[in-house]
Amino acid sequence: MENIIKKYNIQLNEQKAYRKQPNYNQNKVEKNISKLNQYIEDSKQDIIEYQSIIKDNPYKFPETSTTNLMDYFVGDDIYKSKDFYRWQWLIMQKDIINYYN
């Protein structure tokens, strides 16, 4: 019986000590909230950047699906010529203008 009472007294003392130090846990939670808020802000910035990329260039081409103007070699063969559409040229021209201006 005394062992049980000692056990409960130990638990009560631990709870009292815990209640006296709420700032420790509060600071820990506030740090986690701060980290999460920073992650959210970083993610928002990433989303804004991706949206601007999509707005400026909504076309995504699978690799080797367009004409390779540089004639890079793959083994003994070069990429076979494929169509290169007007809007692809416009994208490249816009990027060049943005880069050099």
pLDDT tens sequence across 21-76: 767 677 778 889 999 999 999 999 888 888 877 776 666 667 666 665 555 555 55
Is the CB of residue 83 less than 8 Å from the CB of residue 67? yes
DSSP annotation of 81: P
Residues 68/79, Cβ–Cβ less than 8 Å: yes
The pLDDT assigned to 8 comes to 75
**β-bridge partners, 74:** 77
Domain ranges of the chain: 1-56, 59-101
CB contact at 8 A, 83 and 76: no
Among candidates 86, 81, 61, 58, which has minimal Cα distance to 71? 81
**Range with the poorest average pLDDT among 2-6, 16-20, 32-36:** 16-20
